[in-house]
Amino acid sequence: MSSPAVPAAPSASVGQQGSAMSAGAAAGGGTPVRSQREALAEAARRMEAETPWFEKLGLRYQDVADGGGDLTVETILAFNVASGLINAANETVLAPVFVVLKGLLGAVQGAAAAREEIVELARYCVAMSRCLLDAAKADVMPETIKSTLEEFKGEMEAVGRFVQTYGTRSSGCCWRRMVLNAHDRDTAAGHKRKLKDLLDAVLAGLAAQTNQGLNQIKGMILARDPPSLGALAEIPREAPVLPTTYVQRTAMLEEVVDDLTHPHRSASATHCLLGMGGGGKTLIASSVVRDDRVRARFKRGIFWVPVGREGKDVALLLEHLAVELSRVPTDTPRSCPNRFSGAEEALRHLSSVCAEDGLRCLVVLDNVWNVEVVNAFASTGFHVLVTTRQRAVISAVHAGVWTEVGDMSEEDALEVLSKASQADGPLPAEEARQVALDCGMLPLALGMIGALAKDQPLDPLSWRAVHKKLQEKRAMFRDVENGKLFSTMDTSVCNLPSNQREQLQLMAVMAFWSRRNLGNARKPVGPDMPDGYRLHDLVLDYLQLIVTMGGGRLAGEASSRQARYLARLGVFRQYNARGHNVSTGGLYSLVALWNSAKNLDGSVNADACYSKSLEGVKDIGITREVAWLLLLLGSYSGAEAILRKVLEGADERADELAEFGFALGTLATALQHQGKLDEANPLLVRAIEIQKRALGPDHPSVAISLGTRANVLKAQGKYDEADRLYLRCIEIEEKRLGPDHPELAASLNNRAGLLKAQGKFDEADPLLVRAVEIQERALGPDHPSVANSLGTRAIVLEAQGKYDEADRLYLRCIEIQERGLGPDHPDLAASLNNRAGLLKAQGKFDEADPLLVRAIEIQERALGPDHPSVAISLGTRAIVLEAQGKYDEADRLYLRCIEIKEKRLGPDHPELAASLSNRAGLLKAQGKLDEADPLLVRAIEIQKRALGPDHPSVANSLGTRAIVLEAQGKYDEADRLYLRCVEIEERGLGPDHPELAASLNNRAGLLQAQGKFDEADPLLVRAVEIKERALGPDHPSVAISVGTRASVLEAQGKYDEADRLYLRCIEIQEKRLGPDHPDLAASLNNRAGLLKAQGKLDEADPLLVRAVEIQERALGPDHPSVANSLGTRAIVLQAQGKYDEADRLYLRCIEIQERGLGPDHPDLAASLNSRAELLQAQGKINEARSLWQRALDILRGSLGEGHQYTKMVLKSLEGLDGEQVEGSE
């Protein structure tokens, strides 16, 4: 079961952008060159009046001038920033450039085969723009290049059309992306060559105008000589500033510096600074990187990488280093990929740069908790300095030395106190020494506490007062880790003015929740946060503790501020521009921050905050994008509300028609998630009509809406209608986007899901194979979209019983998502959930459960504890626990799952009905039939209302209720439901669907219980034939129906036929499920019963011994299935006259059932009945009577007086002495 995927929001209309660009180009068509020069010069002057755009982005001029491929994205972004100024100067020749650059930005994000050509094309666009701007500013624009400028405009329009043709929404993303194949790469290359020729022509004209050589003008405008390398490396920006209280520990510093600067020190050598938190390791490292000897030794670059407790994403940390390395001034510009596929690619890049340039660089890894981080950086060839509290880190580092950062000496500690207190003379020695001891001689604590005595630092009374305060706080933190340090922090914080104290706490609280949800250990996220503001992680731990110990009001205020900040539309746009990944600071990062605010205070309401932010906003596009975020948050009704509000006040104007259609599609998605399928469908019909009118019937955006509507129809069980739309969607995309486009792959994936639901596995699999091939070619083998198709194909293979193949795909899917999306992405959680379902089907419960625990943790962190996706994983885990016989744990999860769905999806959602049905199955297994039935009645009512009376989901719940009624002995009612279930499935799924076969199998079981063997057998024959056709002759589901038919034949006394089927059933299960699967044990048990009936007791017993061993290994020694096999073996031993052995097994069987199923379960009554028969055979009549009486009481209470089992036990009890039992008729 995968978590409900939120379909990606449709992209903005490319048609409108095309119109704007053409208008801009036309406006400049008849303008004299002189006007163009003046307009460009004005634009250049206006740009100069501002802070240079590249400096706003943290770039230096040579970064832009070098024009390296590594800076293409930043350069394009920078020109987008400047485009407002350019467009403000009327009728400039550059008007189309920025449209092109925006499209190319999307291209860089998504291109695979054409990446290099796109980078080059973007560079030429930037180079030509800079050339014209510089020339205009210097007033050297020659008349001779007028025709070249006209040609340049025309080429820009052509490139613009090329960008817009291929610019489309990529599956699962909200931003525009252009993905080009090999054919398109040639087109891009042609545009690049044309631009290069035009640029050369412009440069030649400028050279002639200025009487300078062509090479000279190229060097002036394009090359920009890089700066010469300095004698010393720059101090890393991330290195903390040394505080005024800092005291140099000279011996320690010299030890580290001597090692780092040793002339024979090998590359990749590591030096570790080990010490407790607050001991000054980071400040010593910061002092080291400021030492001129170190800066001279590593003049090619010193880099500071803050790691932190949550710093486990090695790929992200390596990427951080690669980007920093690319920014260092060098004689030869270095390139850096825009994004690495994983840690291995980042390592290869860094190692190659280090090897090619012969670099000697130093990397400081600050606050490391994980040895894998150190080993990864050391393998790059860089020298490494590590600060850590973990002794395990240094013990695992193979090459390097370490320095113990212990307590400060008394002399150094007193000097810190002196600086902190601003003393202008010697401190009172004894009193100050006592305070230093109170602080544990830790620099962090000493620096905080010393300030408390700054009013009278030379007065002993001041220090005694500080000591007293510390002693009072000591009791509060006595049993807390780092208690001594926390007591000093609390003393210091409590001494602040109230407004400052609260501001610190609020900032720290938000920083803590940012750390928890994003791994951002130190930078608070919220309003009015000064840039560069950092908190020590121990300060965060202390403040978290304070909030936990009673900061309810503080938490409420912090969460309120956080919510107000996050709801700003400007903040939303920043996150939305970065895509969906947590690792790239995209939309899921924003989701995590909203959840942090909710965790602080459950009253936080994102719907209300965004509704307020959108007041007066008539922009349908931004409203639709905010609605998309609310969908990710699971706030489906909130998304619906803001979309309805903006759509009600909007006119279907021609210039906004396409965007109006996209918004209708998003509204339909919100309704679909709420189970309001009948409302969603008309909206999608209208959206498709609007998009056809605005964009044409074959536009890719129309295909997206067709696919969305097909999803709705599929959810309604209208499979034939849905398939027609999927086929139309695929037809459009193949025609307009080409046979190798990722959008086409996504649609193939969706149609395969429909075919899987119809049981057409052989048709579904080739579509998925093709989808994966397309995505691998277009996006690369490690793209998240590839993982999505692999996961869908794994589900299809699992349904076919091809478990090993399915598992390989699940594992690769998880590997791609973990590397590409990060370890905390909801898509990864969904894949973990799906693989757990496969492991459960294989009986590998111990492997499945940890995956589900992790999936739930990821979803709760990323989406919040009440998100519908969390409910799905809870439900899957409940199924696994139920299969293990852990009924109480499973029921708690089912109840929480139902609570979430009822709260977030509403009381009439089909997903809620599915969970009610699943819980009813658990209650049936527990013998709580009277509790199970009302849940199924409610589930059926919900599904009929939401999906219609003939939906396959209705049939599923009817079948489950029939099983419960059958267990209650209400055979006629059960049979009516089975017949209705079969009717729905035959009509809705077709006569050859495996689900229909399962229902035929279940009805045959009912007929068998009624003794109607001649009616049961044809149903089972048909069920086996359907499954063999749909799933293959060796599918585990075939084995189930074969085994059921064997039991019917056995009941008819057709022992030889039955045994052949039992043997085939066992053969299939052993082959496909393995020799240790619980289903195999059940079949061994059943065959042993047949052999016992034939009197082949010596053959039966070994099968039962093996069955018990399998079940004990797979399910645990106290599982109800173990009790069942023990009871069967006890019957065999009893038939062999081995009464003592049999009785021991009966007693253990009864003990397991009483503990696992409870004292009132019908299965327990059956075991009591069997043991009573043994005792009767031994002549122990009174003991037998007692057991039969208890069994009778259980059956009367659970199944009723009229049930055949109740009557059977009553007859046995009355037969003991011929007297009527009390309470019988």
How confident is the model over 612-643, as pLDDT tens digits? Answer: 888 878 788 888 888 888 888 878 888 899 89
Mean pLDDT over 983-991 rounds to 89
Least confident span in 299-308, 345-354, 517-526, 719-728: 517-526
The larger pLDDT score, comparing residue 1003 to residue 516, is at: 1003
The closest of 437, 73, 401 to 269, measured between CA atoms, is 401
**Amino acid residing at 1144:** R
d(CA 153, CA 1157): 80
486: part of which helix (H) or strand (E)? helix 483-494
Same domain, 475 and 566: no
401: part of which helix (H) or strand (E)? strand 400-404
How sure is the predictor about 270, in pLDDT bands with cuts at 50, 70 and 90? confident
Residues contacting 514, CB < 8 A, separation 6+: 520, 523, 524, 525, 593, 596
Judge residue 459's burial from the number of C-beta atoms within 10 Å of its C-beta, 0-12 exposed, 13-18 middle, 19 or more buried.
Answer: middle
How sure is the predictor about 141, in pLDDT bands with cuts at 50, 70 and 90? low
Same domain, 1051 and 1083: no
d(CA 716, CA 118): 43
d(CA 742, CA 745): 5
The larger pLDDT score, comparing residue 306 to residue 229, is at: 306
* Boundary-marking domain end, from 347, 371, 404: 404
pLDDT higher than threshold 80 for residue 875:
yes
d(CA 209, CA 1170): 109
The larger pLDDT score, comparing residue 867 to residue 344, is at: 867
Q: How many domains does the chain have?
A: 7
Least confident span in 35-39, 424-428, 585-589, 629-633: 35-39
CATH of the domain at 426: 1.10.8
Q: Is residue 526 part of a domain?
A: yes
pLDDT higher than threshold 90 for residue 603:
no
DSSP for 702-724?
A: HHHHHHHHHHHHHHTT-HHHHHH
d(CA 640, CA 666): 9
Same domain, 270 and 138: no
How sure is the predictor about 146, in pLDDT bands with cuts at 50, 70 and 90? low
d(CA 909, CA 1012): 39
**Which tokens in the block code for residue 1114?**
């797979």
Same domain, 399 and 442: no
> Tell me, what's the pLDDT at 138?
61
The per-residue pLDDT for range 1025-1055, each reduced to its tens digit, is: 998 988 889 888 899 999 999 999 998 999 9
Q: What percent of the chain has pLDDT over 90?
A: 28
d(CA 523, CA 530): 10
> Tell me, what's the pLDDT at 1130?
92
d(CA 1188, CA 6): 57
CATH of the domain at 1123: 1.25.40.10
Same domain, 648 and 507: no
How much helix, strand and coil, in percent to the nearest 5, is found in the chain? 70, 5, 25
Judge residue 351's burial from the number of C-beta atoms within 10 Å of its C-beta, 0-12 exposed, 13-18 middle, 19 or more buried.
Answer: middle
Mean pLDDT over 1146-1175 rounds to 90
**Amino acid residing at 614:** L
CA dihedral sign of residues 836, 839, 840, 844: negative
Helical ranges in 1013-1077 per DSSP H: 1013-1031, 1036-1051, 1055-1072
3-state secondary structure of 177: strand
- Residue at token pair 């759509």: 647
Residues 546 and 505 sit within 8 Å (Cβ to Cβ): yes
d(CA 549, CA 479): 13
The per-residue pLDDT for range 104-137, each reduced to its tens digit, is: 544 444 344 455 566 566 666 766 776 776 666 6
Q: What is the gyration radius of the CA atoms in the chain, in angstroms?
A: 37
The per-residue pLDDT for range 1076-1086, each reduced to its tens digit, is: 888 999 999 99
d(CA 477, CA 1060): 72
Q: Around Cβ 521, how many Cβ atoms within 10 Å?
A: 22
> Tell me, what's the pLDDT at 1084?
94
> Tell me, what's the pLDDT at 1186?
92
Residues 283 and 443 sit within 8 Å (Cβ to Cβ): yes
The larger pLDDT score, comparing residue 828 to residue 969, is at: 828
Distance, C-alpha 1081 to centroid of its chain: 37
Strands (E), 240-344: 270-274, 302-306
Same domain, 521 and 548: yes
CA dihedral sign of residues 703, 704, 707, 709: negative
Q: How far apart are the first and last CA of the chain?
A: 50
Same domain, 49 and 127: yes
> Tell me, what's the pLDDT at 488?
73
Same domain, 86 and 169: yes
Torsion angles phi and psi, residue 440, rounded to 5: 70, 20
pLDDT higher than threshold 90 for residue 853:
yes
pLDDT higher than threshold 70 for residue 455:
yes
> Tell me, what's the pLDDT at 6?
38
The closest of 1056, 1062, 1054, 994 to 1025, measured between CA atoms, is 994
Q: Is residue 1031 part of a domain?
A: yes
**Measuring CA to CA, how many Å separate 673 from each of 631, 666, 712, 714?**
9, 11, 10, 13
pLDDT higher than threshold 90 for residue 189:
no
Q: What is the 3-state secondary structure (H, E, C) of 1063-1108?
A: HHHHHHHHHHCCCCCHHHHHHHHHHHHHHHHCCCHHHHHHHHHHHH
Same domain, 295 and 190: no
Same domain, 1026 and 1009: yes
> Tell me, what's the pLDDT at 801?
81
> Which segment, 242-246, 506-510, 679-683, is predicted with the most confidence on average?
679-683
* Boundary-marking domain end, from 1143, 1158, 1173: 1158
The larger pLDDT score, comparing residue 101 to residue 850, is at: 850
Residues contacting 256, CB < 8 A, separation 6+: 271, 273, 284, 288, 385, 403
Q: Is residue 676 part of a domain?
A: yes
* For the chain, counts of helices (H) and of strands (E): 57, 7
Q: Is residue 656 part of a domain?
A: yes
The larger pLDDT score, comparing residue 927 to residue 558, is at: 927
Strands (E), 547-642: none
Same domain, 443 and 392: no
CA dihedral sign of residues 119, 120, 126, 129: negative
Q: Is residue 354 part of a domain?
A: yes
Least confident span in 19-23, 150-154, 1091-1095: 19-23
The larger pLDDT score, comparing residue 1028 to residue 170, is at: 1028
d(CA 900, CA 880): 19
**Which tokens in the block code for residue 769?**
């194979």
820: part of which helix (H) or strand (E)? helix 803-820
> Tell me, what's the pLDDT at 58?
40
pLDDT higher than threshold 90 for residue 1088:
yes
**Which tokens in the block code for residue 384?**
């490494």
> Tell me, what's the pLDDT at 4?
33
Q: Is residue 1183 part of a domain?
A: no
- Residue at token pair 């011996």: 251
The larger pLDDT score, comparing residue 61 to residue 388, is at: 388
CATH of the domain at 270: 3.40.50.300
* Boundary-marking domain end, from 449, 467, 494: 494
Residues 726 and 719 sit within 8 Å (Cβ to Cβ): no
The closest of 463, 491, 459 to 476, measured between CA atoms, is 491
Same domain, 375 and 473: no
Q: Is residue 823 part of a domain?
A: no
User: Would you give the DSSP letter of residue 364?
Assistant: E
Residues 1118 and 885 sit within 8 Å (Cβ to Cβ): yes
pLDDT higher than threshold 80 for residue 92:
no
Beta bridge partners of 403: 273
> Tell me, what's the pLDDT at 420?
86
Q: What percent of the chain has pLDDT over 70?
A: 73
pLDDT higher than threshold 90 for residue 983:
yes
The per-residue pLDDT for range 785-827, each reduced to its tens digit, is: 899 999 999 999 988 888 889 999 999 999 888 877 778 788 8
> Tell me, what's the pLDDT at 1055?
94
- Residue at token pair 């894998």: 372
CA dihedral sign of residues 767, 796, 750, 1027: positive
> Tell me, what's the pLDDT at 546?
64
Judge residue 756's burial from the number of C-beta atoms within 10 Å of its C-beta, 0-12 exposed, 13-18 middle, 19 or more buried.
Answer: buried
Torsion angles phi and psi, residue 434, rounded to 5: -65, -40
Give me the chain's average pLDDT, please: 77
Domain range enclosing 649: 633-736
Q: Around Cβ 47, how many Cβ atoms within 10 Å?
A: 17
3-state secondary structure of 367: strand
Q: Is residue 789 part of a domain?
A: no
The per-residue pLDDT for range 375-404, each reduced to its tens digit, is: 888 777 788 899 988 887 776 665 568 888
The per-residue pLDDT for range 884-942, each reduced to its tens digit, is: 888 899 999 999 999 999 988 889 888 999 999 999 999 988 888 889 999 999 999 99
3-state secondary structure of 388: strand
Least confident span in 220-229, 493-502, 614-623, 1116-1125: 220-229
pLDDT higher than threshold 90 for residue 155:
no
Residues contacting 456, CB < 8 A, separation 6+: 462
Mean pLDDT over 500-528 rounds to 45
Mean pLDDT over 549-574 rounds to 70
Q: Around Cβ 1011, how many Cβ atoms within 10 Å?
A: 12
The closest of 10, 12, 33, 278 to 146, measured between CA atoms, is 33
